[in-house]
């Protein structure tokens, strides 16, 4: 009898373990696919994609979305509108995703939004596209409520760039800008802001991708002998244009958009030429949730987040997945987008931006409640156009990367922008 009892106990234990294993496996027997269209072939784009995957991993650790494992299918846009659109179409038509993360460049995000996301009724959440053209499109009712972004509009970066020139006493400026939606928007806004401050724009010259030389464009920008050069470019064309600028005797005084916050740009141009160059970027507020993001990022990647858009990528991914959880299993893109307000509700229950916070949000949402997401960029609030505002920083390159020179709170940013109008 004792022997049989022992046998029964072992058998029962095995059965319990097997039942636990089976039930745990069933909780993740389904898979929910989301798409990501991000520029992984460039040095500043890969960390943005890795940060998004980090969020997906945490959500899966918490139990997934609606009980299903989240699979992020990543496609490289190569910062090319056509390639980006083709990638997005494949994700929607072949993989059946109802949520797209991306793109980064406004010039890639816009054609994806207008030719893929809106026609297919798919939600699109961008970490980094800042053109005000999206706001106008939303105001005209042409985004169908499917568009959100966690990066402040170009207006913030333009105003802070103009402030840098004013603070350093520059009286004239030449502008080199990327000839796409983002660059054209940035040029329009910062030219206006420079003029408001009495800083003369000697010339503003568009730069196209992939040219063998930018000598003609740079020569045109140099013609007014400006005190400082403003760069609204990406690293590849930025490197070529700056090298040309310096070789033709242009000043080393430079102000850079956040798009040039790149190790490749710093290394390829050379620190010996960047000592008088200052960059601008939006920033996370000085709050506990932003500090918590830095801590978990360091734990995951072994270093602090320093590239452009990392905190924004984190929040974009987490908010999108929270909205997907709120919408329920198998929800359409429109239903997911409609739930964003429930997970970024100022009157909702505060949650942390991690696996524990996602699990807590799941219970709150299931009970019919709302949550106040507190993330890497603070308490994210979207307006009716899917836009956010943000603090800003001024930074410069160092031998090892970048360092912050000045922090401007959201209040200071808003006050300065108001003073320009």
The β-bridge relationship of strands 371-375 and 123-126 is unpaired
Q: Which tens digits make up the pLDDT trace of 298-313? A: 999 999 998 889 999 9
The helix/strand/coil state of 276 is coil
Q: Which tens digits make up the pLDDT trace of 359-398? A: 999 999 999 999 999 999 999 999 999 999 899 999 999 9
Per-residue pLDDT at 331: 98
Structure tokens that stand for 260 in this block: 């040039």
Mean pLDDT calculated for residue range 311-338: 98
Is residue 26 very low, low, confident or very high in pLDDT (cuts 50, 70, 90)?
Answer: very low
- Residues 163/255, Cβ–Cβ less than 8 Å: no
Per-residue pLDDT at 27: 46
Asked if residue 10 has pLDDT above 50, the reply is no
Q: Which tens digits make up the pLDDT trace of 149-198? A: 999 999 999 999 999 999 999 999 999 999 998 999 999 999 999 999 99
Per-residue pLDDT at 306: 86
Per-residue pLDDT at 183: 95
Mean pLDDT calculated for residue range 12-23: 41
Asked if residue 324 has pLDDT above 70, the reply is yes
Asked if residue 8 has pLDDT above 70, the reply is no
Burial class for 304, CB neighbours closer than 10 Å (0-12, 13-18, 19+): exposed
For the four alpha carbons of 50, 51, 57 and 60, in that order, the dihedral sign comes to negative
Average predicted confidence (pLDDT) for the chain = 93
In SS3 terms, 132-175 reads as CHHHHHHHCCCCCCCEEECCCCHHHHHHHHHHHHHHCCCCEEEE
Mean pLDDT calculated for residue range 333-356: 97
> Which residue from 141, 393, 383 is spatially nearest to 257, judged by alpha carbons?
393
Asked if residue 19 has pLDDT above 80, the reply is no
Asked if residue 338 has pLDDT above 90, the reply is yes
Mean pLDDT calculated for residue range 330-349: 97
Q: Give how far Cα 32 sits from Cα of 27, 35, 69, 138, 280, Å.
A: 12, 10, 6, 28, 37
Per-residue pLDDT at 307: 84
Is residue 28 very low, low, confident or very high in pLDDT (cuts 50, 70, 90)?
Answer: low
Q: What is d(CA 142, CA 153) in angstroms, rounded to the nearest whole number?
A: 18
Per-residue pLDDT at 421: 80
Which domains does the chain show, CATH number per domain? Answer: 31-151+309-379 (3.40.50.2300), 154-284+391-420 (3.40.50.2300)
Per-residue pLDDT at 16: 38
- Residues 218/245, Cβ–Cβ less than 8 Å: yes
Q: What is d(CA 164, CA 9) in angstroms, rounded to the nearest whole number?
A: 75
Asked if residue 13 has pLDDT above 60, the reply is no
- Residues 123/333, Cβ–Cβ less than 8 Å: yes
Q: Which tens digits make up the pLDDT trace of 148-158? A: 999 999 999 99
pTM comes to: 0.83
State what percent of residues in the chain have pLDDT above 70.
Answer: 93
Is residue 225 very low, low, confident or very high in pLDDT (cuts 50, 70, 90)?
Answer: very high
Asked if residue 12 has pLDDT above 60, the reply is no
Answer with the residue of higher pLDDT: 233 or 284: 233
């Amino acid at each position: 009898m004792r022997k049989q009892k022992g046998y029964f106990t072992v058998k029962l234990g095995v059965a319990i373990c097997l039942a636990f294993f089976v039930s745990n496996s069933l909780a993740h027997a389904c898979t929910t696919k989301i798409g990501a269209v991000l520029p992984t072939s460039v040095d500043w784009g890969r960390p943005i994609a890795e940060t998004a995957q980090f969020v997906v991993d945490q959500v899966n650790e918490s139990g997934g979305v609606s009980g299903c494992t989240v699979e992020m299918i990543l496609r490289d846009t190569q910062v090319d509108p056509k390639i980006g659109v083709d990638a997005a179409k494949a994700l929607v038509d072949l993989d059946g995703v109802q949520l797209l993360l991306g793109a980064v460049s406004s010039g890639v995000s816009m054609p994806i939004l207008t030719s893929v996301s809106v026609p297919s009724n798919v939600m699109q959440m961008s970490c980094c596209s800042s053109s005000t053209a999206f706001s106008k499109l939303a105001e005209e009712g042409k985004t169908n409520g499917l568009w959100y972004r966690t990066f402040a509009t170009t207006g913030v970066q333009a105003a802070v760039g103009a402030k840098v020139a004013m603070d350093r006493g520059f009286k004239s400026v030449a502008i080199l800008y990327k000839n796409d939606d983002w660059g054209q928007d940035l040029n329009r806004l910062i030219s206006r802001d420079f003029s408001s401050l009495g800083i003369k724009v000697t010339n503003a010259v568009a730069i196209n991708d992939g040219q063998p030389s930018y000598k003609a464009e740079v020569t045109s920008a140099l013609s007014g002998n400006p005190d400082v050069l403003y760069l609204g470019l990406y690293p590849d064309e930025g490197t070529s244009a700056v090298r040309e600028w310096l070789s033709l005797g242009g000043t080393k005084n430079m102000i850079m958009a956040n798009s040039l916050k790149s190790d490749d740009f710093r290394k390829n141009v050379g620190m010996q030429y960047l000592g008088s160059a200052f960059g601008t970027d939006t920033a996370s507020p000085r709050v506990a949730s932003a500090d918590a993001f830095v801590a978990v990022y360091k734990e995951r990647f072994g270093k602090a987040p320093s590239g452009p858009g990392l905190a924004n990528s984190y929040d974009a991914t987490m908010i999108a997945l929270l909205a997907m959880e709120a919408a329920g299993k198998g929800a359409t893109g429109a239903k997911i987008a409609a739930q964003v307000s429930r997970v970024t509700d100022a009157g909702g229950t505060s949650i942390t931006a991690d696996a524990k916070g996602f699990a807590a949000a799941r219970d709150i949402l299931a009970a019919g409640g709302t949550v106040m997401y507190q993330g890497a960029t603070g308490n994210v609030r979207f307006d009716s156009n899917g836009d956010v505002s943000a603090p800003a920083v001024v930074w410069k390159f160092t031998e090892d990367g970048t360092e912050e020179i000045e922090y401007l709170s959201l209040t200071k940013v808003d006050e300065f922008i108001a003073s320009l109008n």
